[in-house]
Structure 1
Amino acid sequence: MLNLPPGFITTFLRSQLFTKLPYPDTSFSGQTILITGANTGLGLEAARHFVRLNATRVILGCRSISKGESALTEIESSCARKGVVEVWELDMSSYKSVKAFCARANGEGRIDVVVLNAGIAVPKYEEVEGMESTIAINVVATFLLVVLLVPVLRRGAEKFGILPRLVVVASDAHEQAAFKEQNSPPGEILNTLAQNKPDLQPDRYNVSKLLEILLVRELGPLISPTPPSASTDSPKPIILNTLTPGLCHSSLMRHAIFPLNIIARLGKALVARTTEVGSRTLVAAAAAEWETNGCYMADCAVREPSAWVRSEKGLETQKRVWEELREILEGIEEGCTGCVGERRELGDPRNGRMC
């Protein structure tokens, strides 16, 4: 059940027990922040930080409006700021809801930061939009949001001269992915992952987080191939990055079954970060600079993802997964991936950033 690579435990414990994460102090004054999965856990605490740090608007994307309104009331009370937080409906299990959410965002004049925090971890097969729910929500719906929100962010960058951030919350659980589906026939990785395979279900969450990291590494340089300082005709750049918050107190593992539920409970009791401390990693990624584009962050700084991600096999799989996902996304919303550029000749820095 646990697939721990060499050195993982040492690195994990050093991060969890001996690394002090900086308390966020970057001003978000004048900015509009959009964060999903924000009515509880890390998303709620990150939203609270954004409000505390003087964001002009903080939009909570929530499946339940009533729970979102409760989060709004709690944030306003704790930060003593009213009229800042808004609640928008977003059901990640429905591509129709994702598209409606993005259409609403398209009506906004300016969005500075998007934090895609919503995700699930389920022990048994559940079907969403015709595929396994973890992959449908954590991968397909998440990157449908990415490609549909890039034009909104880019429009704001052009009009207001800003450098928008698009943050995907992943996990160091990606290092534990067995990912047997990587050897699927050409064009069949996501199709295999979408199927009901009980023996592989325990690995689905880990794999979903691995795929998030692969896709950010692939898309970061393709969406924004040139830095803000470059004088080119390329579209205005957007920072796309991803992060692990580490092991934190949250409700993510609430559906875990024996023996993972016991392991998770014990691990949280011994080494987990508080929800507030974990949320600092989300805020750090939302404030990060250009050098994080296409990169993975841990402990509020750029870090290398797993050795497999950085291997030749990882890079090959990264390309395959994006091409497969691109076809799925186009089937959901034709033309939606037009914001993503094409790969160039071998050696071009836009061919995936190795960080």
Structure 2
Amino acid sequence: MVGSKDLQPSTISFGKVFYNNQFKEKPVWPAPGTSISGKSAIITGGNTGLGYEAALQLLGLKLSNLILAVRSPNRGEAAAAKLKALYPKSNIDVWQLDMCSYDSIQAFANRVRTQLSRIDFVILNAGMMNMEFKVVKSTSHEEIFQVNYLSTMLLTVLLLPTLKAKGPLGEPAHLTIVSAALTLAAKFPNKEANPLFPSFDDPKVFDQQETYNSSKLLAHMFLWKLVDYVSADDVIVNLADPAWCKGTELTRAVTNPVLKMGMKAFAVSTGRTPKVGASCFVDAAVNKGKESHGCFLMSWKIHPFAAFLYTLDGKVVIERVWEESMNEFEFAGARSILESMKR
């Protein structure tokens, strides 16, 4: 199988990538008659935006069991009520998950392990972008870095054994991590920092756009190494870019009214609809098979990772990211979990 690691890095300018992604590529929908009846899915941040739209699309394919993993149970229940009205035959539950809390992430993963008899799809959609430097008190990490990278990768690792054990009979479960085309434009200004992670927690280094881009790029680096431990026969893990979409809450933290209006206007004029954006997640989970394991999916196709990852310097940083991640997750036994996935 030819995956993202095996492709030549793209030499196309990001401007052209953005144009093609937004205006020229066509959605790939599940084939007519596709049914996922009897299957179960988890969507983090599934109460709004692209997560909610992905839920709609999976339920439209006759998904039997859906868990909306959300920070606010009240907002989750409101979203679930709307989904239940549209799909009364499906079982839809709301489970609390705070991506700013390692305790909450561990409790959620344990609940998945102990309470679910089957799990077919996980879409890790929860993410954020802040305009100002904010620290998560319980971890002392900058919030974008915490949610988009650290918490998402920890949850990935903790869910893997359950997905392997309780995936569909005779085929692997799917875990899709929401990514961004902006990883291809990331400047990663702190990439030479050693150790690396403390630099993300430095307010002098913080830049809302670059921190967001780099937080997503780190997930590419993590996946580069993760496939050394996780077989596509056990769990298919991939990254999916929805492109720039209108009608989402990604910019909810923007407080400057002029900037917020400008971003909304840009989204209206260039953005994909939430339906098309979320179809990228559904495609990664339902349409794609083992060939997508360890891959970055953009415009419904396997795409190279950011060019930096293929360089000698990039390989050094990949190793640094992996080791610092394992050290960060030592409290949760991440190394032993991943070693167990190899056996």
Structure-1-length-normalised TM-score? 0.85
**Structure 2: distance between partners of 1:290 and 1:213:** 18
In 2, Cα distance between equivalents of 1:202 and 1:162 = 39
Indicate the residue corresponding to 1:45 in structure 2.
53
- Which runs of no fewer than 5 residues in structure 1 stay unpaired? 229-236, 345-355
Q: CA deviation at 1:201?
A: 4.1
Deviation at 1:197, TM superposition (A): 2.4
Which of 321-330 and 259-268 deviates more? 259-268
Which residue of the other structure, out of 192, 198, 202, is the alignment partner of 2:199? Answer: 192
Report whether the alignment pairs 1:15 with 2:21. Answer: yes
C-alpha distance after superposition, 1:187-237 (max 9, x if no partner) = x1112112322653441111101111111122123222xx53xxxxxxxx2
- How far does residue 104 in structure 1 lie from its aligned partner after superposition? 0.5
Judge conservation of contact 2:173–2:236 (CA < 8 Å) in 1. Answer: yes
- Equivalenced residue count is 323
Mapped pair 1:93 → 2:100: yes
Partner residue in 2 for 1:115:
123
| Match among 137, 158, 170 for residue 147 of structure 2 | 137
CA offset digits 1:60-116 (Å, max 9, x no partner): 1011111111111212223x3344211100111111111111110011221111110
Which residue identity is paired with 2:166?
Answer: G
1:204 correspondence with 2:202: no
Q: Amino acid of the residue matched to residue 166 of structure 1?
A: L
Q: Which amino acid aligns with 1:17?
A: F
How many Å separate the matches in 1 of 2:270 and 2:259? 16
Structure 2 CA distance for partners of 1:27 and 1:220, relative to 1, 3 Å: farther
| Higher RCO (Cα < 8 Å, 6 or more apart) | 2
Aligned to 1:206, the other structure's residue is in SS state: helix
Q: What's the RMSD between the two structures over aligned residues?
A: 2.1
Asked if the contact 2:133/2:206 (under 8 Å) is kept, the reply is: no
Which stretches in structure 2 are left out of the alignment for 5+ residues?
Answer: 1-10
Cross-structure match for 1:29: 37
Q: 2:180 aligns with which of 171, 181, 193?
A: 171
Q: C-alpha separation between the residues in 2 aligned to 1:314 and 1:285?
A: 26
- Are the counterparts in 2 of residues 243 and 297 from structure 1 also a CA contact under 8 Å? yes
Structure 1's 260 and 204: CA in aligned 2 closer, same or farther, altered over 3 A? farther
Distance in 1 (alpha carbons) for counterparts of 2:70 and 2:201: 25
Aligned partners of 1:74 and 1:311: how far apart in 2? 48
Please list, as runs of the form range in 1=range in 2, the aligned pairs for 1:249-264 lying within 5 A after superposition. 249=246, 250-256=248-254, 261=260, 263-264=262-263
What amino acid sits opposite 1:22 in the alignment? V
Contact 1:39/1:62 (<8 A) preserved? yes
In 1: Cα distance, 2:186 partner to 2:259 partner: 15
% identical equivalent positions: 31
